[in-house]
A and B are shown apart, each in its own frame.
Chain A
Amino acid sequence: MRLIDRVAHHNRWRRRHPIEKLVLALGMLILDLVLPPYPAGPIIAAIMLAAAIGGAGVPAVAYLRLLLAPVGFVLAGAAAVMVGVAGEPGLGWHFVLLPSGRIIALKLVLRALTAIASLNFLILTTPVENLLPLFRRWRVPGAVVDLIMVTYRFLFVFSDTLEAMRTAQDIRLGYSGWRRTYRSLAMLTAAFLGRVLDRARRLEMGLAARGYRGDLPVLVDEGRPSWPVMGGILALQLATAFLSLHLSR
């Protein structure tokens, strides 16, 4: 998470208009879902990899680490799709490998990894706060956008706090054995909630002292998207769709 934040703020495309990066990433995500996973998957993944590492200068290690982190979940999900049930309900129910299961699972893994590769490009080149003005322009209710902003600002602070609290419990043997683990987790959650609420109250006081009436205006550095770049992205996506359909025939 911290890695994402660091890379998102320090890459060559950080100053590019967020809509360009959003259209590239989400467009490819949609293509990944509608085109046949092979050969579209590898093509899209290669483009996104090239864009992130070659274009934006995202460190290859960071990109690959994020891509491989959810592989366990992807494989577990694919395994569940691969099997079916056989036998009468109640009497000797068992799982069997479906004849078509292996292909479906393979396609699924390809599709999921490609989708993650597209999304990783977006999140590694674009800090979350740069996306918020877009939400506002798309008429997402202001209350929700503000909520997203407040949430994002607190994520990092809170994970530090929680980590410190958990470590404190752990070095006092708070997580040795089941009973203690549950007790510690309950104490941790409750104490953490207390802190969190306290934090909200202090923030509210600080804001109230500065004339807070419910609005949280922030200055955003809003450029304009470059039309040649947008055109290039759409052309690239059309070419990807065309090439994949052509190759799959």
Chain B
Amino acid sequence: MHIMEGYLPIEHCVAWTVAAAPFVAAGARSISRRMEENPRVKLLLGVTAAFTFTLSALKLPSVTGSSSHPTGIGLGAVIFGPGAMTVIGLIVLLFQALLLAHGGISTLGANTFSMAIVGPWVSYGIYRLARRAGLSLGPALFFAAALGDLATYVTTSVQLALAFPDPARGVVGAMLKFMGIFAITQVPLAASEGFLTVLVMNQLIAYSRPELRDLGIVTKTETGGIAE
């Protein structure tokens, strides 16, 4: 749900950038620390960002005939943690804006907020909650990825509604309108993303256990979730 270049008034661009800044700074600090502990992390996170960018070229079929791409945000947040995913997300958004005209430089702050901050943190939070509630890996991943996607799209709707309030019904009316429009494509997409995330994890468990263990070394806290 990228907001296109030039779509937000400049005050909104600045405000969203300011809102995103502390999260990005915290994420940058956390990855710097991890990089100092282990120089390999730099390469690992770099290839992950390139991986996420490349994946966004894949089209995912959706019920209404529209298609969109898997974001991988849910998967990434669970594997690498939400802080690292914020920085990775920002880099991916930067390259999408520069190389694909998907999103924009002026809207980078707003897009970072919805996709690289709200998405990963919601996914991660849901995953932890679901696991604590005793859900097994599959359903926990499904809900984490799907709800992370939905949270992103609700955030984008709010951002657009604040920029383009409905003349009669104000911001709330505009928000419901944008959500209504996006729901047509985004609700099925969120479900597909959740579904795909589970399938990918199954494949990873089946064929790439050593890599998963490697990732577990990188993010110590997540080992419990993955080493099933």
| Category for how many chain B residues contact A | 35 or more
**Are B39 and A213 in contact, CB atoms less than 8 angstroms apart?**
yes
- The 8 Å CB contact of A183, one of B43, B168, B199, is B199
Complex CA–CA separation, A216 to B181 (angstroms): 46
**Are A182 and B196 in contact, CB atoms less than 8 angstroms apart?**
yes
Complex CA–CA separation, A153 to B91 (angstroms): 13
Specify which chain B residues have a CB less than 8 angstroms from the CB of A128 in the assembled complex: 98
Over the window 122-162 of chain A, the binary record of Cβ atoms lying under 8 Å from chain B Cβ atoms (1 yes, 0 no) is 01000010000000000001111011111111110011001
Which residue, A26, A148, A188, has most C-beta atoms of chain B within 10 A?
A: A148
Complex CA–CA separation, A100 to B32 (angstroms): 49
Complex CA–CA separation, A201 to B41 (angstroms): 10
* Segment 3-56 of A: residues with Cβ below 8 Å from B: 4, 26, 29-30, 32-34
- Supposing A33-B6, A112-B4, A190-B207 touch, asked if A162 and B57 sit within 8 A by C-beta, the answer is yes
Q: Which residue of A lies closest to B79 (CB)?
A: A193
**Are A200 and B47 in contact, CB atoms less than 8 angstroms apart?**
yes
**Are B60 and A80 in contact, CB atoms less than 8 angstroms apart?**
no
B25 CB to closest chain A CB (Å) equals 8
- The 8 Å CB contact of B58, one of A119, A144, A185, is A185
Over the window 92-115 of chain A, the binary record of Cβ atoms lying under 8 Å from chain B Cβ atoms (1 yes, 0 no) is 010100111000100010011111
* Residue B171 at the chain A interface, CB threshold 8 Å: no
Tally inter-chain residue pairs, CB-CB below 8 A.
228
Specify which chain B residues have a CB less than 8 angstroms from the CB of A152 in the assembled complex: 50, 95
Specify which chain B residues have a CB less than 8 angstroms from the CB of A198 in the assembled complex: 211
Binds B, one of A81-89, A230-238, A239-247: A81-89
Specify which chain A residues have a CB less than 8 angstroms from the CB of B58 in the assembled complex: 162, 166, 185, 188-189
* Residue A214 at the chain B interface, CB threshold 8 Å: yes
Listed A/B pairs (13) with beta-carbon separation below 8 Å: A34-B10, A73-B2, A83-B177, A112-B5, A128-B98, A146-B42, A147-B49, A149-B46, A150-B50, A154-B50, A193-B208, A203-B43, A214-B39
Given contacts A141-B28, A150-B45, A214-B35, 13 further A-B contacts (CB under 8 A): A85-B173, A85-B176, A89-B176, A98-B166, A108-B6, A128-B98, A147-B42, A150-B49, A151-B91, A158-B50, A189-B58, A204-B39, A214-B36
